[in-house]
Structure formats: C-alpha cells, structure tokens
Amino acid sequence: MSAARRIAAHSSSSSMAASTNSKRSSDIKIEDIDKESAPTPALDAHYDPKFVARTIRRIDWRMLPLLGFLYAIALIDRGNMGIARTAGMATDLKLTVGERYSISSMIYFVPYTILQIPSNIVLRLLGARLWLTICVVGWGAAQLGMGFVPTWGYLVLCRILLGIFEAGFFPALVFIITTWYKRHEVQKRLALFYMSSMLVTSFSSIFAYVLTLMKGLGGLNGWQWIFVMEGLITILLGVLVWFFIPDFPDKSTFLNEEERKMILDRVEADRGDSIPDKMTTQKLIKHLKDPLVWAFAYMFMASTVPAYAIGFFITIILAGMGYSTTDALLLTAPPGIVALISVYAFAWLSDRTKLRAPWLAAQNVMCIIGLAVAAYSELNAARYVGLFLVIMGASGCVPGVLAYSSNNITSHTKRSVQSATIIAAGGIGGILATTLYQEKDYPKYIPGMWSTIGFQLGMLAMLGVTSFVLHRRNTLRRAGKIGPLEGQEDFYYTL
C-alpha cells in the first residue's frame, strides 16, 4: 500500500473513530441533560386519583361536620347574651344599669384573647382529643352555671370562665384543618366548616325562643333555661369529642397506613411541612416578629367586629325597629341562611381562581354597604336587608382571612403561632364589638356602625399592602434575586 493510501486510510479510520466517539459523547451529554432537565415528579404524583378523592371525602365527612357543629355550639354559647337579655335577663339582673350588659359581654374576650397562643402550644403536647375534650366540657359547665347566677357579678365570673375554656378551641380547629389539605383546597373546607356552624346558629334563636317557653318550670325564668339546656348539650358533646374528634394527620387513627402516608405526601409536595417541627422560644419570637402575621391578625379582627356586633345585637336592633320579642328572635334566622350561599360561593371562587385578597375586598365592600343601609335607612325593610349584607360580608371574610393566612406560611410551629395570634385578634374584635355598641346609642347604634365601617376600610387598605408585598416577593423569587420563600424551594405566596 502506498504511503498516500495508508495516510488516507488512517485519516478515514481516525474520522470514523472520532465520529463514533463524538456520537457517544453526544449521547452521554444528551442523557445527562435529559436527566437534569426532566422535572422531578411530585411526591404524591403516583397515587391513584380515585384513591385520593375517596380518602379526602372520608376526611371531609369525618372532620368538617363535627368540628363545624362544635364551633356552632361555641358561637351560640358565647353569643346568646343578646337573646337572653331580650328574654328577661336584663330585668332580672339589672343589666340596663350603666354598661353592665356591654361589660358582661366583653369580659369573655379578655381571657379568650390572652390564652390563644398558650392553648395552641398545649394542643400539640396533649393531643387534639384530650385538649378539646377539656375545653368543651369546661365551657359547657361555665354555660350551665350562667343559668343560676343571682346577680350580674356572678354572670361576669361565668363569662370569664367561658372565655378561659373556649380560648383553646377555635385556634385548635383552624390549626388541625389546615394541616390536612393542600393550600388551594383549604378555603372551601374552612367555609364548609364555618357554614355548618352558621346553619346551626341561624336556628339558635328559634331554639332559644322554644327554651324560653319553659319559663316557670323548676322555678327558673325563660332566659335561665337557655343557659341550662345549652350548657348540658355542650357537656354531652364534650364527652363525644373524646371518641370522635380527629387529630393531626401524623397522629390520626381513623385512616390506615397507606391513606395516612398519602395525606402526608400531598402536604409535603404542596408546602413541605407535613412533619411537625418542635416549638422553641427562638421560633416563637421569630414567628411573632413577622409583620405578615400581624397584618393577617388585623384583617381577622376587622372581620370579626361586624360578625360579633351582629351576633350580640341583632335581636336588640330588630326589637328597636318595633318588632316583638318573638318576631325579633325569629327574624335573626333568614340572614344567616342566605349568608351560607354567599360564604360558599366566595370560597369556591377563591379556591378556583387561587386568589384570596380580591374576593375578601369584595366582601368588605358588601359589609360596608350593609352597615350604611342598616344605620341610615328609615325603612325597616331596607334596614333588614342591610343586616343581610353585613352578615354575608362579615361571615365570608372569616374563613377567607383564615385561608389567606394559612396559604402563606409553612411549618407547624408558625402555623400554631399564627393561627393563635389571628384568633386572639378576633377576640379583640369581640371586645370592640361589645364596647362600641353602647346602651346610650340604642336603637340604631350609629357610632358603633361607623366604627365598624372604619375597620372595614382599614382591612381594604391592609389587603392592598399585603397584595403588593407578596406579589413583589414572588417576582423577586422567580427572578432569582432572593432566596426560597418561607424556607421552601418551590413555595410562592398566594395573593
């Protein structure tokens, strides 16, 4: 073979080898790139959707009706002062002297507000079943005692005890519910839980009216029978709590191992906090220093002011329109029933659009319009419609703010602190509601109405601030200019 042919053959062989090596190198690089660029499947992606849906339905039915009914009893027990007053308590205990009625109503919220965070810490230590049983039986006993008070001073004492035992209840419910679901599944569940309580409380005035017909039985007045019977019912429910209340997902016993793992995997995939972290003093201080916690707390307080004000004063406002005691009690039911539809509609829209703030703002506006109509209209029919709007707007904001806040945090310790802080702010809303609506302003309570409107305007402003801050943080995170939000790599805030 000539030198030229040998050189040509060697060149061809080298080219083929280079081509082969290049191809192999290219294949390796492509595989590596594919492996690196392929999205990691979500932790819960492999579960059968039918299995997931079936398990979620079981959880819904096990948890939401029971917790909603218990919360309804809590609302009835704390808010039946207005009904009892209309049924004769004001005369027997001389509650029309000075601000005795407002003080008796307000004092409940002092221990209720102070004990929120300690209660949620105790909740994780004792477990949901034991702690909630203690809470429910305790406030049932306090409610029962209110049926036998001889003076308004003893009434105040019973109201303080009621606040102590109820303090641990509502934040525990919110804490528990928000640990079971993904972020954009929460508001519908909170709304259903809240709606079931609204449905019961809508008829509580009618039930209370029936109890007043027992007047004279056992030597007790009608208003006393309200407290006695509702207290006994609460104590009975407290016993049932021990057997049926659901616990946190990692401690649940009504699910099998596969179902429990699936729930924990879903939560971990959504926000990375399925496993509880341990509370420390440093974590407590850190969580309390977060301005967003206090922004959400203000919004919840602003939502509860009209909710509590109407709860405590609707029968009194209706009586001030000239309706009889019977009619005033019966007319409290329809606004609550209509509000059920409104609350779920806004919750559905909020979860469907994955937006919280715009729908909260819409309900704030609804509440403001209702307050203005109820305060200034000369027609009873128009004022009654105004009460519908107030109840619809305020009721929808309660689960809305809870969903908005719970969607924008991670970790069990922060969820515990934030939910307790928010519910404590709701207690302050109760104090404001019971003191802003004063006896001297009966029957229209114009100063109280204006104060409530002011809180709604403040909430609109706060919604604007939080929306701006959360949107900016999301934008900076997507641009890689700041680190992971809430300590989670793929976490973004819900607006």
Over residues 110-120, the pLDDT tens digits come to 898 888 888 88
% the chain with pLDDT above 70? 91
Mean pLDDT value across residues 401-426: 88
Q: Quick check: is 20 in a domain? A: no
Domain that holds residue 444: 55-478
Q: Is the peptide bond before 111 cis (omega within 30 degrees of 0)?
A: no
pLDDT at 286 over 70: yes
pLDDT at 133 over 50: yes
Do the Cβ atoms of 221 and 92 come closer than 8 Å?
yes
DSSP 455: H
What CATH number does residue 133 fall under?
1.20.1250.20
Which pLDDT does position 39 carry in this prediction? 56
Alpha-helix residue ranges (DSSP H) falling in 245-332: 257-271, 281-288, 291-320, 325-330
Burial 117-131 (b: 16+ CB within 10 A, else e): bebbbbbbeeebbbb
pLDDT at 40 over 80: no
Q: Quick check: is 35 in a domain? A: no
Q: Quick check: is 232 in a domain? A: yes
Mean pLDDT value across residues 244-268: 87
Lowest-confidence region among 29-33, 318-322, 412-416, 445-449: 29-33
CA 119 to chain CA mean position, Å: 16
Q: Quick check: is 49 in a domain? A: no
Mean pLDDT value across residues 101-123: 86
Sequence-separated (6 or more) residues with CB below 8 Å from residue 274: 249, 250, 264, 265, 267, 268
Sequence-separated (6 or more) residues with CB below 8 Å from residue 160: 107, 108, 110, 111
Which pLDDT does position 353 carry in this prediction? 93
154 or 5, which is more confident? 154
Highest mean pLDDT range out of 283-292, 357-366, 476-485? 357-366
Separation CA 86–CA 328 (nearest Å): 9
Backbone conformation region of residue 341, classed left if phi is above 0, alpha if psi is from -120 to 50, else beta: alpha
Helix (H) or strand (E) holding 17: helix 3-37
Mean pLDDT value across residues 391-399: 91
Q: Quick check: is 281 in a domain? A: yes
Separation CA 84–CA 81 (nearest Å): 5
Helix (H) or strand (E) holding 324: none
Mean pLDDT value across residues 120-125: 83
pLDDT at 380 over 70: yes
Which pLDDT does position 296 carry in this prediction? 96
Q: Quick check: is 486 in a domain? A: no
Separation CA 317–CA 9 (nearest Å): 105
343 or 272, which is more confident? 343
pLDDT at 22 over 70: no
Burial of 437 (0-12, 13-18, 19+ CB in 10 A): buried
Closest CA to 319 of 387, 253, 256, 234: 387
Kindly compute the dihedral angle of the four CA atoms of residues 73, 75, 78, 84, in this order, to the nearest 10 degrees: -80
Q: Quick check: is 493 in a domain? A: no
Do the Cβ atoms of 121 and 212 come closer than 8 Å?
no
Helix (H) or strand (E) holding 444: none
Q: Quick check: is 34 in a domain? A: no
pLDDT at 4 over 70: no
Average pLDDT, the chain: 84
pLDDT at 165 over 80: yes
β-pair partners for 488: 485
191-223 pLDDT, tens per residue? 877 787 777 776 777 788 888 889 889 889 989
Separation CA 274–CA 260 (nearest Å): 11
Which pLDDT does position 295 carry in this prediction? 96
Domain count, the chain: 1
When pLDDT is cut at 50, 70 and 90, the band that residue 8 belongs to is very low
pLDDT at 29 over 60: no
Mean pLDDT value across residues 6-27: 42
Which pLDDT does position 34 carry in this prediction? 44
